[in-house]
Structure formats: structure tokens, C-alpha cells
């Protein structure tokens, strides 16, 4: 019905679908599979830990941005920036914008869904930090230490998937009614 696609929607699609969904989680699952093998490829394991695993830091920052900006970017108040509602005079823009934002807050209470996402993100990030603390500084002969962390890697994978699922539950559209 609307052709508005906000920056928030675009960023959420990129993070949830492209980065977390396709790249990161698949990479993580493949890494765990590899680590479970009796004679894992140490080079591939070290490469993942050095290059791919830390990508979480970027995902985490982007996720924080999404959660911090959800209310501002996905409020129907944005409709006033587009025609035909942008034709409202300045006085109307001011009170009507505030009003439809407040009504939306009352109807949807987005804080609850954002808080659920935030908890899921926190859980994933906490596990990530725990893993980082357990990885030896040098990744040479690192495999045995990483095998010890297998359970944590699995917990982290589940936590990332859970965060991704919670993020996808936030509305896909700017909801007006």
C-alpha cells in the first residue's frame, strides 16, 4: 500500500537477511561442524577465528543502531514527510506529527518488542565476549582450545539465531492503524 521504505527497513534487511542470516550464521555453523571433525583443518579454523568470527562486533553495532532508532524511524510520523501529507502547514505538522507518534506508541507499545530484541542481543554478545576471553592470543595450535569451547560456540549460534528471529518480528511496515 505504501512505497515508503525507510532507512531502518533497509538496514534491518541487510543485517538480518544478508549479514547475519546468510554470511555469519552459516559461517558459524560450518565452523562448528569443522571443529567437531576428528582431524579438523587447522588453517581453516584459524582463518575463521581471525577473520570471520570478529564480524560479530560490526553486527552488534548495527543491531544497536537498529534497536536505538526503531521508534524514530518506524513511527508513522514519517508519513508527514511525504506527499500528500507533507502539504500540511507548519503548525499542523508540529502537533499532528507528535500526536500520531504518541497514538502509535499507545497502540503498539514498541518498547516491549525492542526490549525483547535487546535482551536477545545482549545474550549473544555476552556469549561472544566469553568465547573471545577463552581463545588463546596466538591462533597457532589453537584447535584443542577451541574444541573446549564448542558448547559456547553452539550457545552463541543459538543466541545469534534467536536475536535474528526476534529482530524479524519487529514490524516490516510503518504501521498507521
Partner 1 sequence: MTGFKFYLSDEDHPTMRDDLAVLLRSLGGQQEEEDPTQAQIIIVHGNSDQLEETLHEHGIYIEYTTAEGLSCQPNLRGMKKSYKISFSLLVKRLKRLTTPTSIHDIVQVITKPEKPVTYSASIVVLCQGYLAVHAATSGYASIIENSQPPDTAFKEALKLMGWSEKARDLVKNVDIHIVQDPSWWKSVLQFGTYNGFSLNVLKEEWDFMTSDVFPDELPTFVAALLNDNMITDHNIVARVYCLLAAKLQSTFS
**Positions that interact with partner 1 (CB under 8 A):** 1-5, 9-10, 13, 76, 79-80, 82-85, 87-89, 92, 95-96, 98-100, 102-107, 171, 173, 175-177
Residue whose CB is less far from partner 1, 5 or 148 = 5
C-alpha span between 142 and 43 (Å, rounded): 10
* Nearest distance, CB of residue 141 and partner 1, angstroms: 40
In three-state secondary structure terms, 118 is helix
Residue whose CB is less far from partner 1, 17 or 158 = 17
Alpha helices in the chain (DSSP H): 7-13, 25-36, 42-47, 55-74, 90-108, 110-134, 143-148, 150-169
Residue whose CB is less far from partner 1, 7 or 148 = 7
Cα 114 to chain centroid distance, Å, stands at 11
Taking CA atoms, 90 is separated from 10, 85, 94, 96, 130, in Å, by 29, 11, 6, 10, 52
* Nearest distance, CB of residue 23 and partner 1, angstroms: 16
Sign of CA dihedral 127, 129, 133, 138: positive
* Nearest distance, CB of residue 118 and partner 1, angstroms: 23
C-alpha span between 24 and 36 (Å, rounded): 18
Residue whose CB is less far from partner 1, 100 or 124 = 100
Which three three-digit cell numbers place residue 120? 536477545
* Nearest distance, CB of residue 91 and partner 1, angstroms: 8
Residue whose CB is less far from partner 1, 101 or 118 = 101
* Nearest distance, CB of residue 21 and partner 1, angstroms: 15
C-alpha span between 66 and 15 (Å, rounded): 9
Amino acid at each position: 500500500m505504501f512505497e515508503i521504505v525507510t532507512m531502518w527497513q533497509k538496514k534491518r534487511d541487510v543485517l538480518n537477511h544478508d549479514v547475519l542470516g546468510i554470511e555469519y550464521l552459516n559461517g558459524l555453523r560450518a565452523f562448528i561442524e569443522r571443529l567437531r571433525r576428528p582431524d579438523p583443518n587447522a588453517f581453516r579454523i584459524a582463518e575463521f577465528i581471525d577473520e570471520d568470527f570478529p564480524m560479530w562486533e560490526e553486527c552488534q553495532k548495527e543491531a544497536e543502531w537498529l534497536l536505538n532508532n526503531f521508534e524514530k524511524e518506524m513511527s508513522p510520523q514519517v508519513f508527514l514527510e511525504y506527499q500528500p501529507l507533507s502539504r500540511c502547514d507548519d503548525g499542523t505538522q508540529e502537533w499532528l506529527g507528535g500526536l500520531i507518534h504518541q497514538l502509535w506508541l499507545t497502540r503498539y507499545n514498541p518498547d516491549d518488542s525492542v526490549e525483547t530484541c535487546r535482551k536477545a542481543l545482549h545474550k549473544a554478545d555476552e556469549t561472544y565476549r566469553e568465547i573471545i576471553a577463552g581463545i588463546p592470543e596466538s591462533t597457532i595450535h589453537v584447535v584443542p582450545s577451541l574444541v573446549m569451547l564448542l558448547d559456547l560456540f553452539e550457545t552463541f549460534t543459538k543466541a545469534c539465531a534467536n536475536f535474528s528471529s526476534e529482530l524479524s518480528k519487529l514490524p516490516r511496515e510503518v504501521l498507521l492503524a
